[in-house]
């Protein structure tokens, strides 16, 4: 029999959770399984009833559904709707689920038939414009990143169980980067979306000398105008910046505004 858990003398409910994947690499789910040091502690907080990467048993009796991946087919829309009906909470897990992720890059061509021909040749598949989960259902919580940061997921799940508020950072990654005393990659001639991307990853990529690509989406307090001024001062071509802004889909609104502005120039 499982030991009853308490927090400050109050019984803590052990929620039933399911992990699901749509169009994705499944790297976000793998992140959880790779966290051997705390995996058993994490699993002790929940009852996993559906997790294809980690177990063969399956059940549709879950309270929280963690869904990785974006929508690229009609059957995925139907599957997501079924998950939404079964779950009390639906959590978008990773950039693909939150913004469309790398999968949404095909949308920029505005010609799905051409994309299918270029990628699959004479072997076409059923595919459609890529959408995030929120385009199909109401999402209760988003966990950002490509891949997700496993420590962040563990903290969020703990807060869900204890009924504590979940607050994502509103400041950009630059604050975490400076706290780690990293050399600014702009000073090394490397483009970086750290000034406008939501923090929470502990400056994962910049700390390894790789400029941020914005997988966590825009920080609410980001100053895009000032960011573009920095890029201009550092002689970073707009084409390189646009490639990064478009990569994961989180900056779609900014990209559309920039393209409109660029198109209006004589």
Mean pLDDT value across residues 132-137: 98
Q: How far apart are CA 38 and CA 34, in angstroms?
A: 10
Q: Which residues pair with 48 in a beta bridge?
A: 17
Q: How confident is the model over 176-214, as pLDDT tens digits?
A: 999 999 999 999 999 999 999 999 999 999 999 999 999
Q: Per-residue confidence at 17, pLDDT binned at 50, 70, 90?
A: very high
pLDDT at 6: 61
Q: How confident is the model over 69-84, as pLDDT tens digits?
A: 999 999 999 999 999 9
Tokens of 150: 């496993």
Judged by DSSP in three states, 49 sits in strand
pLDDT at 40: 83
Q: How confident is the model over 87-107, as pLDDT tens digits?
A: 999 999 999 999 999 999 999
pLDDT at 1: 39
The pTM for the full model equals 0.90
Q: Which residues pair with 93 in a beta bridge?
A: 68, 143
CATH number of 6-162: 3.40.50.700
Rg over CA atoms, the chain: 20
**Confidence check: pLDDT of 264 > 50:** no
Q: Where are the domains of the chain?
A: 6-162, 173-263
């Amino acid at each position: 029999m499982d030991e009853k858990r308490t927090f400050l003398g109050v019984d803590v409910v052990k929620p039933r959770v399911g992990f699901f994947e749509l169009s994705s690499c499944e790297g976000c789910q793998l992140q959880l399984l790779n966290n051997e040091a705390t995996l058993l502690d994490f699993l002790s907080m929940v009852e996993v009833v559906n997790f294809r990467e980690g177990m063969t048993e399956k059940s549709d009796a879950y309270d929280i559904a963690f869904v990785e991946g974006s929508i690229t087919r009609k059957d995925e829309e139907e599957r997501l709707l079924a998950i939404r009906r079964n779950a009390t909470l639906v959590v978008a897990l990773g950039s693909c689920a939150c913004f469309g992720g790398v999968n949404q890059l095909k949308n920029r061509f505005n010609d799905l038939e051409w994309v299918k021909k270029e990628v699959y040749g004479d072997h076409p598949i059923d595919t459609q414009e890529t959408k995030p989960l929120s385009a199909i259902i109401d999402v209760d919580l988003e966990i950002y990143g490509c891949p997700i940061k496993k420590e962040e997921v563990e903290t969020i799940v703990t807060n869900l169980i204890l009924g504590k508020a979940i607050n994502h950072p509103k400041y950009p990654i630059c604050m975490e980067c400076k706290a780690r005393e990293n050399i600014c990659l702009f000073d090394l001639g490397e483009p970086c979306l750290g000034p406008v991307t939501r923090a929470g990853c502990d400056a994962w990529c910049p700390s390894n000398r790789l400029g941020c690509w914005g997988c966590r989406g825009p920080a609410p307090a980001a100053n895009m105008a000032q960011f573009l001024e920095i890029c201009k001062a550092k002689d970073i071509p707009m084409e390189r910046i646009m490639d990064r802004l478009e990569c994961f889909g989180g900056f779609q609104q900014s990209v559309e505004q920039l393209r409109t502005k660029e198109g209006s120039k004589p």
